[in-house]
Amino acid sequence: MKKEGELSDSGNERLSLNLAIVGGGATSRFFLELVQKDAFPSLTINIVGLCDIDPEAEGVRLAGELGIFTTKDYGDLFKIKDLDGVIELTHNREVLLDLIRMRPRGLLVLDHNIVPIFQSIYHIDQQLKSKKQEVILEKMVSEFLMEHAYERILLLNPDFTIVDANRGYLKSVKMQREDVIGAHCYKITHGFSSPCSEWEPEMGCPLLETVKTGQPSHVIHEHTIERDQRTYCDLEAYPVKNEQGEVVRVIEIGRDVTSELASRWEVRVKELKTDMQKLVQEDRLISLGKLSASCAHEINNPIQGLLTFSHLMQSILENGDPSQEDLNQFKAHLSLMYRELERCGNIVSGLLSFARESSPETRAVEINDIIRAVISLTRHKMELQNINLTARLSTEPLHMRGDVNQLQQCFLNLIFNAIEAMPEGGRLLITSKLDRDKKSAQVIFQDSGYGISEKDLDRIFDPFFTTKSEGEGTGLGLSIVYGIVKDHDGSIGVKSNAGEGSTLTLSFPSG
């Protein structure tokens, strides 16, 4: 809303209000015709957009004739420059609530009840011509904006006293107008005996900010209804200035955004979980590449043995009927070949099982089984790098609820991290145990690698942080571990000194 250069009959500058309409039916056409009559002495209403899904609706047709922008998507209306408000004329409550949710901050959303009120104002204006009658008309417009807005509206003095309050605010505090006029807003709204900032410094005060800067301000306040129940109110404050530019009043508009924030939070949590799942899957592909090389080497040795035995048996058979001694040797060779083929099958089966992409699934799992599967995949890689692995797994089952693939990736990343920390070989001890006092299952990875310096210790779980040379790592391995552990309601602790190895302890709720 802004002032125009044109003067009203009373000599005051006219206010200009840019509105858009949602709904193109008969009510819409009537309101467009009413606006064209310039019915309001101190207010110029400009219809700058109209939305309806029916391009043949009578209101849409009239808007087209008047050169007004039309659309089928009311989201387009919020993009109109200098838009002050939107009027809902579909008589559909769901559309009204949707508009309230979608509207940008500071934008008015008025329902269809405004039309008969403006109509009444128009008829009164035709009868009232004196200055006194004009004052009455302007008061009616002011009262309408105060009483029919869904938001909680306060008119405040700079000293925090309430000048006026609309129905929305009175309903929220469950009080009558005469009980709040002249009282301090912090007392009525929060029950404080002095300004909010003195009780809760982190709680921003929109009134103080607006009085200080002379500009609109915005905060979100948390209100405690009961001990465990909180609501959140979106507050916007606008200055009312005198001719000297001093702030003499502040209009405060509040809107309950509890459900909206909860909805946004749920969407954000869902997005974060999806992002984590993508990261884990991408990390699995990187791990698969690391495992494939060592698994190929591990499979190559028994395959070479199988070829040797095959050639030997074939040469004996080509020399004639085999002797009993040859048959006994064949039997021994075949037994050994069977065991080697079975070992190759287990290696490939484990690799395929790890590579298989599946949807996240939380179920009852046994931690030791997951550790054994990961050790089976990485044992040969550790042997090639001269790393002595010791696994001291709990003799009793360690049950928890979790996602097998994510936990497998978590343990695999920690083993890879230990391998990379011992390029010249070393020792890796993996321990699992049940902490009965804390009702948790613990998995401990202890290596004899180059360790972590004190200055880096607080940053090792940060995304993209790495001490490796460029091109040797993404810096996501440990941050993915941290995310997986937290997603399973667990905790992770680190003990390390440069040159003395590292110990990482993972704790998960057992049961």
Pick the range with the lowest mean pLDDT from 25-34, 237-246, 277-286: 277-286
CA dihedral 397, 398, 404, 407 (to 10 degrees): -140
Mean pLDDT value of segment 190-200: 81
Beta pairing class for 85-88 and 108-110? parallel
Beta pairing class for 502-509 and 43-51? unpaired
| Residue 161 pLDDT grade (very low, low, confident, very high; cuts 50, 70, 90) | very high
User: Which has the closest alpha carbon to 360: 330, 418, 405?
Assistant: 405
Pick the range with the lowest mean pLDDT from 19-28, 309-318, 380-389, 481-490: 309-318
Instruction: Give the model's pLDDT for residue 362.
Output: 84
- Which of 111-120, 345-354, 423-432 has maximum average pLDDT? 423-432
What sign for the dihedral angle of Cα 236, 241, 247, 251? negative
Pick the range with the lowest mean pLDDT from 76-80, 331-335, 472-476, 491-495: 472-476
Question: With 70 as the cut, is the pLDDT of residue 125 above it?
Answer: no
Rounded CA-CA distance 120/123 in Å is 5
Instruction: Give the model's pLDDT for residue 471.
Output: 43
Instruction: Give the model's pLDDT for residue 128.
Output: 52
The overall pTM is greater than 0.75: no
**Looking at residue 195, what DSSP letter applies?**
-
Mean pLDDT value of segment 330-351: 69
**Could you tell me the CA-to-CA distances from 130 to 17, 35, 94, 125, 410 in Å, in that order?**
24, 22, 42, 10, 81
Instruction: Give the model's pLDDT for residue 5.
Output: 46
Q: What are the φ and ψ backbone dihedral angles of 170, each rounded to 5 degrees?
A: -60, -35
Question: With 70 as the cut, is the pLDDT of residue 284 above it?
Answer: no
Q: Do the Cβ atoms of 418 and 447 come closer than 8 Å? A: yes
Ranges assigned E (strand) in 417-481: 426-435, 440-447
**What percent of the chain has pLDDT above 90?**
19
| Residue 199 pLDDT grade (very low, low, confident, very high; cuts 50, 70, 90) | confident
Question: With 70 as the cut, is the pLDDT of residue 345 above it?
Answer: no
Instruction: Give the model's pLDDT for residue 329.
Output: 73
User: Which has the closest alpha carbon to 479: 282, 284, 279, 278?
Assistant: 279
Kindly report, residue by residue over 39-60, the tens digit of the pLDDT. Answer: 666 678 899 999 999 999 999 9
Kindly report, residue by residue over 234-259, the tens digit of the pLDDT. Answer: 888 888 888 888 888 888 888 887 77
Instruction: Give the model's pLDDT for residue 357.
Output: 53
Rounded CA-CA distance 52/56 in Å is 9
Instruction: Give the model's pLDDT for residue 242.
Output: 82
- Residue scoring higher pLDDT (284 or 66): 66
Task: Give the number of other CB atoms < 10 A from CB of residue 73.
Answer: 8
Q: What are the φ and ψ backbone dihedral angles of 109, each rounded to 5 degrees?
A: -120, 115
- Residue scoring higher pLDDT (201 or 6): 201
Instruction: Give the model's pLDDT for residue 172.
Output: 81
Question: With 90 as the cut, is the pLDDT of residue 282 above it?
Answer: no
* Distance, first Cα to last Cα, the chain: 62
What sign for the dihedral angle of Cα 369, 370, 371, 377? positive
Instruction: Give the model's pLDDT for residue 100.
Output: 85
Rounded CA-CA distance 128/469 in Å is 83
Pick the range with the lowest mean pLDDT from 13-22, 140-149, 216-225: 140-149
Secondary structure (DSSP) of 310-378: HHHHHHHHHTSSPPHHHHHHHHHHHHHHHHHHHHHHHHHHHHHHHH-------EEEEHHHHHHHHHHHH
Here the tokens at position 471 are 């091109």
What sign for the dihedral angle of Cα 421, 425, 427, 432? positive
Kindly report, residue by residue over 71-124, the tens digit of the pLDDT. Answer: 999 889 999 988 988 989 988 888 888 888 888 887 888 887 776 767 666 665
Kindly report, residue by residue over 360-406, the tens digit of the pLDDT. Answer: 678 899 999 999 988 887 887 888 889 999 999 998 999 999 988 88
Sheet holding 217-226, edge to edge: 162-165, 152-156, 247-256, 229-241, 217-226
| Average pLDDT of every residue of the chain | 78
Question: With 50 as the cut, is the pLDDT of residue 7 above it?
Answer: no
Rounded CA-CA distance 506/415 in Å is 13
Q: Do the Cβ atoms of 23 and 89 come closer than 8 Å? A: yes
Rounded CA-CA distance 185/288 in Å is 62
Rounded CA-CA distance 464/473 in Å is 9
Instruction: Give the model's pLDDT for residue 37.
Output: 77
